[in-house]
Amino acid sequence: QIVLTQSPALMSASTGEKVTMTCSASSSVGYIYWYQLKPRSSPKPWIYLTSNLASGVPARFSGSGSGTSYSLTISSMEAEDAATYYCQQWSGNPPTFGAGTKLELK
């Protein structure tokens, strides 16, 4: 199965700071999904097919990448962005998830 490695596992950012987190695949995938998870909630789809924002996601978020290397960027950190972000692939079976990047507000 395709293993997704997310880095960093934990990061903190101040309001207004640019944030970038990465997702590396053990073999080439065609696209990546990103999900946002906050405590006591279910995951929310955040970015689909690598770079498309899900409905309601602020425009300060963006996604990019290809092959084995993908990233999620926040152009200017807001307090509400503090959460854990997971990448997920379904280019190969079974679908797999990364271990998550926990983003905290500094």
Partner 1 sequence: EVQLQESGPSLVKPSQTLSLTCSVTGDSITSGYWNWIRKFPGNKFEYLGYITYSGSTYYNPSLKSRISITRDTSNNQYSLQLNSVTTGDTATYYCTRGERFDPFDYWGQGTSLTVSS
| Stretch of 11-19, 35-43, 58-66, 67-75 lying at the interface with partner 1 (CB under 8 A) | 35-43
100 touches partner 1 by CB under 8 A: yes
* Span between the terminal Cα atoms of the chain, in Å: 36
48 touches partner 1 by CB under 8 A: yes
Half-sphere exposure for 7 (CA within 13 Å, toward CB): 4
**Site size for partner 1, by CB under 8 A?**
22
Give every CB contact of residue 51 below 8 A, 6+ residues apart in sequence. Answer: 62, 63, 64
Binding site for partner 1 (CB under 8 A): 1, 33, 35, 37, 42-45, 48-49, 54, 84, 86, 88, 90, 93-97, 99-100
